[in-house]
């Protein structure tokens, strides 16, 4: 099939558990090469768990998760990452015992074609100024940029971004939005989990809405106006 | 010559012994700190693994004719490999449980290993000759410094500094530091963290075995040599702060010297001074002198 070759990520009937608690109940999701897809939903709907399930960071998972055509259920997180996945966790995950530049250089190269350090510093001049500061001494905005920037170096072409706009000043949120557009123009495939619909709205090609560990809606950006009433209901806007 | 009413010969002699003991405290507590940092396990088998290093050297010499130099290389490798086996087969099953389980398992292993060796070799020590190249001593003017002891101090300092450098200043060390903080995220970046944990445990154990080989010509090779030293080493680790690399090194050498000094000034307290310091440090800085609260 022709469409399969462009499918970068595909989840079918994914169930996930943390110990006894069942967090994903049959999640289906498809992302094509070069798309920006936004995962929406209220707190606790299962958005973060979906990203973590893709990487194998949940306790147990079943169903089918294919990344660049490879089945990932049963693989360890580092094996999934090596398929070319870059992950930016919600809590940013900046290492306090590493300097800013050490944080930036930490994730190993997964494939050729990642951005060079110079390109990253051109995109985020702040990080160059603070390169010798301990990672957690950076401001919230700088830490967020660092968390995203460090996965751009690795050559990962599928980026899983969890709430990157959360708790940041408007000017930084705008900078991040510019960055997403740049990355899309460069051909990256992006799955972004967002609580902040206003941030995701102008950026995403398609939207998925989650509730209670399931996908309850999915639509393309062009269908947004006709879906808005139902979307608002799900998001509680 | 006297210093503060103490004959300088006695003072320097005890300080030297302190520095030698400190060399072993530093190497052992360094291994414990590295292991605790990444594995979150308090490795009570450490003393037994130090003893295994010394025995590997002793048995290598008596059965295979291996030189001191060969043992210095082989004993840490072999003992480290047994450590990696222990990690894979046993410790790896405990990471999701409370600290206490790792402590109990490693404590039990130490008892079993020491029991087996005691059963086979008896409790009395066996001598291990100082390598011929280190026979004799240096005349420093104010004291004699046996060549082998000078070697132990230099070797221990180099090992500690090299370990510190690798952990704090290299890419490999950055992986280790990062995985100590957030192992899951480091693995999600594509690094095989479980393998890194196995190698780290092997390294820590190898460090203990290296200390054991170096100790063989100074103390005797005995199944209980690890039990004696490990209690003090745990006090050193508590004082320095769990998981702090530099803290483990400095506290190891420092407390060795304090112990030596106490032997001159008030010999009755020399066995307890480290524990007194431990109590004081725990009262005022529970995370240790160089530790940070987690």
Nearest CA in chain B to A101: B174
Instruction: Kindly report the average pLDDT of chain A as a whole number.
Output: 92
Pair (A120, A132) in one structural domain: yes
Q: How far apart are the first and last CA of chain B?
A: 49
CB atoms under 10 Å from CB of A133, counted, come to 15
Pairwise CA distance, residues A148 & A153, whole Å? 10
Note the pLDDT tens digit of each residue in B218-253. Answer: 999 999 999 989 999 999 999 998 778 888 999 999
Q: Give A82's contacts in chain B (Cβ within 8 Å).
A: 190
Shared-domain flag, residues A6 and A79: yes
Last residue of a domain, one of A139, A155, A171: A155
Instruction: Tell me whether residue B289 is exposed, middle or buried, using C-beta atoms within 10 angstroms of its C-beta: 0 to 12, 13 to 18, 19 or more.
Output: middle
| Domain boundary pick from A109, A128, A155 | A155
pLDDT tens track for B62-99 = 999 999 999 999 999 999 999 999 999 999 999 888 88
Distance from CA of A236 to the nearest CA of B (A): 32
CATH number, domain of B160, equals: 1.10.3470
Percent of chain A with pLDDT over 70: 98
Determine whether the interchain pair A105/B171 forms a contact, defined as Cβ–Cβ distance below 8 Å.
Answer: yes
B267 occurs within a structural domain: yes
Residues B14-39, mean pLDDT to the nearest whole number: 93
CB interface of A with B, residues 47-76, below 8 Å: 55, 57, 76
Q: How confident is the model at residue B141 (pLDDT cuts 50, 70, 90)?
A: confident
Same domain, A178 and A150: no
Q: Are residues A75 and A6 in the same domain?
A: yes
The answer as to whether B3 is a domain residue is: no
Put simply, the chain A residues between 143 and 202 with a CB less than 8 A from any chain B CB are: 151, 154
Domain assignment of residue B72, yes or no: yes
Domain annotation covers residue B290: no
- Arithmetic mean of pLDDT over chain B: 92
Task: Give B53→chain A minimum CA distance, Å.
Answer: 32
Tokens representing A118 are 């110079």
Nearest CA in chain B to A107: B189
Q: Do A76 and B187 touch (CB under 8 A)?
A: yes
Q: Which residues in chain B have their CB less than 8 angstroms from residue A54's CB?
A: none
Q: Are residues A171 and A151 in the same domain?
A: no
Rounded distance between C-alpha atoms, residue A219 and residue A231, angstroms: 10
In chain B, the number of structural domains is 1
The whole-number pLDDT of residue B139 equals 86
Q: Are residues A150 and A161 in the same domain?
A: no
Residue given tokens 């240096």 in the structure block = B138
Indicate the residue among A155, A174, A194 that finishes a domain.
A155
**B191–A78 CB contact, under 8 Å:** yes
B interface test, pick of A78, A85, A87 with most B CB neighbours within 10 Å: A78
Task: Indicate whether A163 and A66 sit together in one domain.
Answer: yes
How many folded domains does chain A comprise? 2
Asked if residue B124 is part of any domain, the answer here is: yes
User: Is the pLDDT score of B294 beyond 70?
Assistant: no
Query: For residue range B110-133, what is the model confidence (pLDDT) as tens digits?
Result: 999 999 999 999 988 899 999 999
Per-residue pLDDT reduced to its tens digit, A67-99: 999 999 999 999 999 999 999 999 999 999 999
Q: Which domain holds residue B58?
A: 10-284
* pLDDT score for A123: 85
Nearest to B217 by CA among B145, B122, B149, B157: B149
pLDDT at B1: 64
Contact indicator for B34, B204 with CB cutoff of 8 Å: yes
A to B CB pairs, distance under 8 Å: 58
Is A18 in contact with A75 (CB distance < 8 Å)? no
**Which residues from A are below 8 Å from B185, CB to CB?**
87, 89, 93
Instruction: Determine whether the interchain pair B188/A95 forms a contact, defined as Cβ–Cβ distance below 8 Å.
Output: no
For residue B2, being part of any structural domain is answered with no
The complex's ipTM?
0.92
Q: Are residues A171 and A79 in the same domain?
A: yes
Do A79 and A27 share a structural domain?
yes
Residue A111 in contact with partner chain B when CB distance is under 8 A: no
Start-to-end C-alpha separation, chain A:
40
Cα of B191 to nearest chain A Cα, Å: 5
Quick check: is B114 in a domain?
Answer: yes
Q: How far apart are CA A88 and CA B185, in angstroms?
A: 9
Return d(Cα B277, Cα A36) in angstroms, integer: 59
Do A80 and A161 belong to one domain? yes
Q: Looking at the structure, do residues A21 and A127 belong to the same domain, yes or no?
A: no
B179 to chain A: closest CA residue: A95
User: Does residue B83 form part of some domain?
Assistant: yes
CB contact under 8 A, A108 and B174: no
| Residue B153 distance to chain A (closest CA, Å) | 29
Q: Reduce the DSSP state of residue A34 to 3 states and report it.
A: coil
Could you list the residue range(s) of the whole structural domain that residue A54 is in?
2-84+157-235
Q: Please report, for the domain that includes residue A195, its CATH number.
A: 3.40.50.300
Contacts A89 to B, Cβ<8 Å: 185, 188
Is residue A93 within 8 angstroms of chain B, CB to CB? yes
Considering the domain architecture, whether residues A32 and A6 belong to the same structural domain is answered as yes
């Amino acid at each position: 099939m022709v469409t399969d070759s462009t499918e970068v990520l595909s989840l079918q009937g994914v169930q996930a558990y943390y110990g006894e608690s069942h967090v994903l109940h049959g999640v289906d999701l498809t992302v094509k090469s070069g798309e920006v897809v936004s995962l929406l939903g209220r707190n606790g709907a299962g958005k973060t768990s979906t990203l973590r399930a893709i990487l194998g960071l949940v306790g147990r998972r079943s169903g089918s998760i294919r990344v660049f055509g490879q089945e990932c259920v049963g693989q360890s997180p580092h094996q999934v990452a090596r398929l070319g996945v870059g992950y930016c966790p919600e809590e940013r995950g900046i290492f306090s015992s590493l300097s800013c530049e050490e944080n930036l250089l930490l994730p190993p190269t997964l494939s050729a074609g990642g951005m060079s350090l110079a390109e990253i510093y051109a995109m985020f001049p702040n990080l160059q100024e603070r390169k010798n500061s301990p990672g957690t001494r950076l401001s919230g905005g700088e830490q967020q940029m660092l968390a995203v920037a460090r996965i751009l170096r690795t050559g990962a072409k599928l980026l899983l971004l969890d709430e990157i706009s959360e708790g940041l000043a408007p000017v930084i949120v705008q900078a991040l939005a510019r960055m997403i557009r740049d990355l899309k123009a460069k051909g990256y495939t992006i799955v972004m989990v967002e609580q902040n619909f206003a941030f995701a709205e102008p950026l995403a090609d398609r939207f998925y809405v989650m509730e209670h560990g399931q996908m309850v809606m999915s639509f393309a950006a062009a269908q947004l106006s006709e879906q808005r009433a139902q979307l608002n209901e799900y998001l509680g806007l | 010559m006297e210093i503060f009413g103490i004959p300088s010969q006695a003072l320097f002699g005890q300080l030297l012994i302190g520095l030698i003991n400190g060399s072993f405290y530093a190497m052992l507590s360094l291994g414990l700190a590295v292991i605790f940092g990444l594995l979150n396990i308090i490795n009570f088998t450490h003393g037994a693994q130090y003893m295994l290093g010394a025995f590997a050297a002793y048995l290598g010499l008596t059965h295979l004719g291996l030189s001191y130099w060969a043992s210095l290389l082989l004993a840490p490798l072999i003992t480290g490999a047994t450590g990696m086996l222990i990690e894979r087969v046993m410790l790896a099953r405990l990471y999701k449980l409370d600290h206490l389980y790792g402590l109990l398992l490693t404590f039990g292993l130490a008892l079993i290993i020491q029991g087996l060796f005691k059963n086979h070799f008896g409790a009395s020590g066996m001598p291990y000759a100082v390598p011929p190249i280190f026979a004799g001593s240096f005349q420093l003017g104010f004291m004699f410094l046996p060549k082998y002891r000078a070697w132990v101090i230099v070797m221990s300092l180099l090992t500690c500094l090299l370990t510190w450098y690798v952990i704090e200043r290299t890419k490999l060390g950055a992986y280790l530091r990062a995985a100590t903080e957030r192992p899951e995220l480091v693995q999600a970046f594509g690094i095989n963290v479980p393998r890194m944990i196995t190698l780290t445990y092997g390294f820590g154990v190898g460090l203990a075995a290296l200390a054991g080989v170096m100790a063989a010509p100074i103390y005797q090779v005995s199944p209980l040599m690890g039990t004696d030293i490990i209690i003090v080493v745990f006090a050193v680790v508590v004082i320095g702060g769990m998981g702090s690399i530099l803290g483990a090194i400095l506290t190891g050498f420092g407390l060795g010297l304090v112990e030596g000094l106490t032997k001159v000034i008030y010999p009755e307290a020399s066995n307890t001074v480290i524990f007194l310091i431990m109590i004081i440090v725990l009262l005022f800085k529970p995370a240790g002198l160089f530790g940070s609260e987690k």
